[in-house]
Chains A and B, each alone.
Chain A
């Protein structure tokens, strides 16, 4: 046998939002509607007042100072940024015509050491050598001396490969006896030869004359003659005058080495005079 469950109608009916609440009253409903519609309304009104108020205040109240708009800068107002280029500082001074002379004074003699006791000598050896303090005057003098060295007319000869009897203008590092002798003849014939300043360096550089020179048994200049003219009479004349002076002053060519003596003693040689590289 089945028995009917107890069924409460309340249980059969679920709760819903539509169910009236006991605490909701008509006043509460009105309040809720007021909040729902009133708050947005109030905010809108406040916003409206703010905007209109600024406009009214702007019209009524005196103008405040406006913020300055920077003017367009004139070209003169711009300080251009400059960056130093990587490099070295070039000389900014005008040239100096006076060439400092290189001092030729002998070096100062070494100071004579005073007598020391053995104890003093031992102490001296034990004491570590400290570098002397820099002397501003000596440093300045040293710098001046270094610059003078660089500009001195008597330049130090740099060591380079060659021969003690070679020429400054030489290019070879090894030479035969004949080559060295020809260099000596070059110096012999070149010394004292000059061309007039009315001949420009450009014009002189293209001139060449050839002269036959007869060398005697005693290495004297027996005779000479123009074999080929340079085309410029003044240039040719300078050579003739030069050789005439050599001959008149009883100059002798340097004695040749034995290996090449037969090419020069009692022979006629050709000397080509070029106007290039005139000083």
Chain B
């Protein structure tokens, strides 16, 4: 009896083992005939996996061949694009002499292989045709990684004189496509320029140095300009004091009386300026008609150079209330002034940047030996020096997208660099003071 039960048990176990051997795969063996796993599944356990990170960052390589069509407008239009990409310090503009693509055969289309061979990551193609007195401009932007399909196509119509602005507009769209933030190509700079003894003019120019023109009357001393509603606002020095005016009203005084009224900054419907009307230089605001004047500071120290447009609408200004010129900030409607700069003994000419990815920045002129340009990150309190050992550098202004900083240098005129002071390019030769960048 026992014999029979034991043999029955042994048989059952043997059957179970045989069934298990065929039902389950042997652990550790790899079937070479197994189809590859879909892309979204985890990697097989046996394959060696190497993780690589911390890549370098290099300039985006972009190719801009001359625009096709009209013989003179084609090259000049392409040069505007190349200059824009160089100034913004994010692109490496490839030398057209290295292109191997058959541009005539391609036309406005793209053969990716020919551009991959020269290392291009982006290619811009364009065509300019005249239609009577007008021009018609077709533009395309390709990303080589995306093949022969353009990422961006635009057509512009207008006068010949508008070609540069068409190029700036297209470059802004390309930059926004690649980075998610629009560019500042085509915006303008304003500054004052000394012409001689007793003569200063207020000038305006495109940021790349095109169309430098005088907007003040050309008589007397016009200075401290700023962009705002109604045009360019600036101050005029007379024998009786200094008043504030703007373009379009034949230099009629908008804000005057009580000594010096100067250093205007316009944000929205309010005009900010410094004035000695109450005996000491204080900060005031007024409406666009020069009325509703409100005093914002009240301190025996000298308060000048108001600059509106800071984070939360704050106003930056220069004050000697702590002994030496330092930069302070306060609400645009007045209130408690908070000191901003704590390094260096002489800081002036503040300029805000609030549209960048690194948080609000403040550019200013600091005296460290000579005058140089600095930026301060208000969140991290990190100071960055943009110039050193390069003559006198002062009066910085941020571009609206915070990618570029313009400043005057005794090296020969207005320079543009990136916010770290790299890639400095002379854009407007000649003397310049108190720069401001349009928004």
Interface residues of chain A, those whose CB is within 8 Å of chain B, are 76, 91-98, 169, 182, 185-186, 189-190, 192-204, 210, 227-228, 233-234, 236-238, 241, 263-264, 267-279
Contacts and interface: CB of A to CB of B under 8 A. Distances in A.
B52 A271 contact: yes
A279 B374 contact: no
B99 interface: no
22 contacts: A91-B343, A92-B344, A95-B385, A96-B385, A97-B385, A97-B387, A98-B388, A185-B50, A189-B50, A193-B52, A194-B57, A200-B180, A201-B57, A202-B357, A237-B121, A272-B49, A272-B50, A272-B52, A277-B54, A278-B54, A278-B55, A279-B54
Contacts of A193: 52, 55-56
A278 B388 contact: no
A61 B143 CA distance: 105
Given A92-B344, A97-B387, A200-B180, 8 more contacts: A94-B385, A197-B60, A199-B57, A234-B178, A270-B48, A271-B50, A272-B50, A275-B53
Contacts of B58: 194-197
A95 B382 CA distance: 10
Contact of B52 (A97, A201, A274): A274
B13 interface: no
A196 B57 contact: yes
B52 A94 contact: no
A196 B121 contact: yes
Nearest to B60: A196
A189 B53 CA distance: 10
A272 B53 CA distance: 8
A270 B384 contact: no
Nearest to B61: A196
Contacts of A96: 368, 385, 388
Given A93-B368, A197-B90, A186 B51 contact: yes
Nearest to B90: A197
Interface in B33-90: 39-40, 43, 47-61, 90
A166 to B, nearest CB: 15
A249 to B, nearest CB: 14
Contacts of A204: 55
A95 B54 CA distance: 28
Contacts of A276: 53-54
B300 A238 contact: no
A227 B304 CA distance: 61
A240 B54 CA distance: 17
A94 B55 contact: no
Which 10 A-B residue pairings sit nearest by Cβ, starting from the closest? Answer: A237-B145, A196-B60, A194-B56, A274-B53, A97-B388, A194-B58, A198-B178, A94-B344, A277-B54, A233-B145
B383 interface: yes
A94 B368 contact: yes
Contacts of A185: 50
